[in-house]
Structure 1
Amino acid sequence: MKYIFPLLFLCTSISIFAQTEPTLPNTNSIVTCFPDASFYSTKTVNANGGDYSDLQSALNAVQPGTILVLTAGESYKGSFTLPKKAGTDWIIITSSMMNLLPKQETRISPTFPTGNSKYPTQADAMPKIITTNLSGLPCFQTEAGAHHYRLVGLEITIDTSVHNSYGLVQIGTAAASQNTVASIPYNFIIDRCYIHGHTNATVMKGGVLNCANSAVIDSYISDFHSVGFDTYAIGGTNGPGPFKIINNYLEAAGENIIFGGGTAAVPGLVPSDIEVRNNYFFKPLSWRVGHPTYAGTHWTIKNLFELKTGVRVLLDGNILENSWADLPIGQSGYAILLTVRAEGGGSPQADVSDITITNNIVRHAGAGISLSGHDDQAQSNQSQRIKISNNLFEDIDGAKYGDLNIDGPNDGIFIKVRRS
């Protein structure tokens, strides 16, 4: 059957567990702490007297073991490609005013004051990577097989002249050109970056993780929305993992995080070993039609966290806030969807198994969790070993936020429900 938890009230904890505990993700290969860069060379990029005046020229020229320092407050306009290089040291792209930004393992807050008159907020202390491409090209994209890049302390956004963008940081691609393991980018860290669209622009995707061994940490990702199309802050379909998504602010009208939702170009690929901890998932009520703060554009609303395919996933210690019904274009108000989808038969390997959801706060939604055992429209694997335990569901109200259309049957394996 399809397991649905539409009404979970304040101070109620629900545990769902399999007879066999799910396997936790193995993300030990992702090293998020800053590397020893004492032997790295440092190069500056600015229009007035730096080692390079153009960011793409710098990216093409430098070798692993280089820190590229961009001038805080300066705009670097264009769509930049991160090339494949030989070597295992990092290329670090960072701000000239990192001393005004939070230390490692602290989330950035764009409007937080720095105490510096020239760079009064954290956003002011960042260089601006701005795509001006009217065809939707991102700020950053990668060559096939690119690896060992760290983006640290950057503001990444679109120009005010751009009203339609498909994504801002695209690590890898879901296109047929990335159809082998060798072509998948790997070892990327997005650290303390401010990645955002604009209030009135259609910007569909923040961080696109079609890659391996990568992380998004301590960042602020906001203003991703569209009318009639899917949007997300972080997601991926054609990267095997592992992934760490830790201590970020995540804001999107569609899914704040999603894995799956498209056909993987690499045969048999399932995103795996995904660690999602200590994030704040949020949808502003100014996006909700009829709310007193409604801003006037009816963005398409879906959910806060969704897996259409994903194996060995941990969702732990997060806050997930605001999810409401937006039918018929959007969805029906669930906060979390664990609904395996084979994408019309294009991804029969799709699987949602070994899922652990613990220690989260879920609030202000039409329903808590929707869980399906297999795709009712195409062949897929059967969901197994799902544990949902020690979560607080607060103000979950189908009448207030939801318009639930409950369907089934859809069998999962070894799923037991208990109230604790």
Structure 2
Amino acid sequence: MSARPIDEPNRVSSQLELLFDLTFVVAVAAVTARLAHEIMEGHALAGIVPFLQVFFAIWWAWMNFTWFASSYDTDDVAYRLLTMVQMAGVLVLAAGVPAASEHADFTFVTLGYVIMRIGLVGQWLRAGAEDPARRRTALRYAGGISVLTVGWLYHSMLAPASAELPLFVLLAALELAVPLWAERTEPTTWHPHHIAERYGLFTIILLGESVLAASRGVAAALGSTEVSSTFVLIAVSGLVVLFALWWLYFLVEAGDGLSDRRNRSYRWGYGHYGIFAALAALGGGLEVAVEQSGHGVTVGTLTVGYAVAIPVAVFLMLLWMVHARVVAESAIHPVLLSATAAAVLALPFAAPWIGVHGVVAAIAVSCVLLVAVTIAANNAR
């Protein structure tokens, strides 16, 4: 297991990486559906913290595999088997999402996490044994991950209820610190264009999850009412929002920026937690909004409006903040992004007069205008 070259030409995602991503579809779908349920039950605020906690576990597991694979993907039998162990862990984690979100019971989430860590530690130990130049780095990763896995087991099984959230925050912070500490010896050889592609693919998966979540809302709405103009407007507007966010994300080519500014990769990579979480939350918000059009939801229109508006605004602001770290000149002007985000956040206040369908349609128009103005500005340069 020797390190792959940083400048390897034509480096793209492997078939195994694509299969690995598909296992996360199940986990993200579970956490998105749970968030939508909490919103519909009128417990939106109470559901946010469990959502962010579980999504952190999902995102961090994906991150661990992605950056390791960018440096050490040998695609041999041992590598494939250890990766499949991690896939099994993802599925166990997904099975534990309802209990974690509803009862703060992280037993199965932690069990899935431990299974994934077994595979990941095995990969790092193998890298340490077979790549002498980066042995200390690999062993630091293996040691840090192992120690923190014990911490997660304590958090899940022994920690008192009052200490669960503070301990979670501490363990999450330490998880983020492990790569910073490990890479101080001899940096790994992750490929910048490969990493940018992997993040783009996960963005597409999350947008697809939003489509899936909205389709669940469509099915529920159709079961309780006939097709109406309100229903059609909110469903179409939701798709337009997703198309616009996809367009905005891929206006920026991060591969060259990551190549030129490798020292800023942590902020870029870690900042995507907010972008990814916002897209997942948007799926839950759209599911509630679509179902609300069929009069199957009793929660207030302001809450439903903000269930869509907040994720969109967070996505827009973080999109610029994250990419500004690595690109020389952002394709999207920060003033335009800020103004659009502010407008999106203000729109739900009009819900009592224009309804949720009007709010979602106005959000869609705002995003489309942002895309159109940005394209025109870029073409004029």
TM-score over 0.5 (shorter chain): no
| TM-score (norm: length of structure 2) | 0.28
Structure with greater helix percent: 2
Structure with greater strand percent: 1
